Amino acid sequence: MPSDPSPLARIGAVLRGARTLSPTRFTAPRIWRPTPGSFAALIAGLWLFGTGEGMLLAANLGAAPWSVLAQGLSLRTSISIGWTTLFISTCVLLLWIPLRQRPGLGTIMNILVIALALGITYGALTTPASLALRYAMVFGGIIIIGIGSGFYLTSGHGPGPRDGWMTGLHRVTGWPVGVVRLCIEVVVLSCGWLLGGTVGIGTVFFALLIGQAVAMGLALMHRLFGVESPSPEHHAILGSEELPADHVPNVDDHDLGD
């Protein structure tokens, strides 16, 4: 019988990251039927996600494309970034209608919780004078987003508005998920930049590191809360109800929160 892996081996497994969404002890059996554990994981994950996004914006080195769009819209309208994030997410959710996408509890909570957490975090933080601290905020924000995504994605309550729009377009057009995601991100980033949002080295770091950060978040969930014999219902929730089968291994397409 093999011995349990050493603490160093466990840490290495988390750092390598996971390539799939594995059911956990808190994964809900239905996207609209939360358990105390699944609801707590959902809210905690979305709050961490919004907090990480707020840290990226406060660093003022560039952020994720959708945050750049929200920031640009906020600058143009003088509306707080929390409200512009809520507005954008609601508009994207309306785009689900012609795609016949079905929302879940996570879809609705995604709109509300991330916008609230992002607005509070961004309003509470100031851009540090030290460039080193600004870089630390960028990397810290990406790590927090990865951990939050791990909680959110394995809660079993459905995708956020932007992920649902992406997977819906993939299903309707037949285009590869990666192509759909790239087109969306390029258009969103361009619009945000034209509106005055900050695009910079932080945006590059986000693009390069967020996939691995989410993979590490998923691996952490598996390590801490994984189950040995998950039910078929849990696999269905994470595999077909939330994301299409060919999308699950691609942790780069996170947004995982978003």
| Cα gap 167→173, rounded to integer Å | 10
Highest mean pLDDT among 8-17, 51-60, 184-193, 227-236: 51-60
What's the distance, Cα to Cα, between the start and end of the chain in Å?
Answer: 43
Mean pLDDT of 204-216: 88
CA distances from 117 to 7, 65, 202 (A): 33, 18, 20
Q: pLDDT digit string (tens) for 43-100?
A: 999 999 999 999 999 999 998 999 999 999 999 999 999 999 999 999 999 999 888 8
Q: pLDDT digit string (tens) for 222-247?
A: 889 987 665 555 555 555 333 333 33
| Cα gap 205→79, rounded to integer Å | 27
More confident residue, 102 or 131: 131
Helix axis angle, 131-154 relative to 201-225, nearest 10°? 40
